[in-house]
Chains A and B, each alone.
Chain A
Amino acid sequence: DQQVKQNSPSLSVQEGRISILNCDYTNSMFDYFLWYKKYPAEGPTFLISISSIKDKNEDGRFTVFLNKSAKHLSLHIVPSQPGDSAVYFCAASRTGNQFYFGTGTSLTVIP
Chain B
Amino acid sequence: EAGVAQSPRYKIIEKRQSVAFWCNPISGHATLYWYQQILGQGPKLLIQFQNNGVVDDSQLPKDRFSAERLKGVDSTLKIQPAKLEDSAVYLCASSLLGGTGKYEQYFGPGTRLTVT
A residues apposed to B, CB below 8 Å: 4, 6, 32, 34, 36, 41-46, 49, 51, 89, 91, 93, 95-104
Q: A102–B41 Cα gap in the complex (Å)?
A: 8
Q: A49–B110 Cα gap in the complex (Å)?
A: 22
With contacts A51-B101, A97-B98, A99-B33 taken as known, whether A45 is within 8 angstroms of B42 at the C-beta atoms is: no
Q: A100–B58 Cα gap in the complex (Å)?
A: 12
Residue of A nearest to B104 (CB): A46
Q: List 17 A-B contacts (CB under 8 A).
A: A6-B42, A34-B104, A43-B93, A43-B107, A44-B91, A46-B105, A46-B106, A89-B42, A91-B42, A96-B99, A96-B103, A98-B45, A98-B56, A99-B105, A101-B35, A103-B40, A103-B42
Q: A104–B89 Cα gap in the complex (Å)?
A: 15
Whether the pair A101, B43 counts as a contact (CB closer than 8 A) is: yes
Mark interface residues in B26-48 (1 if CB within 8 Å of A CB, else 0).
00000101010000111111001
B residues apposed to A, CB below 8 Å: 4, 31, 33, 35, 40-45, 48, 55-56, 58, 91, 93, 95, 98-99, 101, 103-110
Q: Which of B4, B45, B103 makes the CB contact (< 8 A) with A49?
A: B103
Q: A34–B93 Cα gap in the complex (Å)?
A: 14
With contacts A43-B93, A97-B55 taken as known, whether A34 is within 8 angstroms of B43 at the C-beta atoms is: no
Shortest C-beta distance, B97 to chain A (Å), equals: 9
Q: A89–B56 Cα gap in the complex (Å)?
A: 21
Q: Which of B44, B99, B109, B110 makes the CB contact (< 8 A) with A101?
A: B44
Q: A81–B5 Cα gap in the complex (Å)?
A: 29
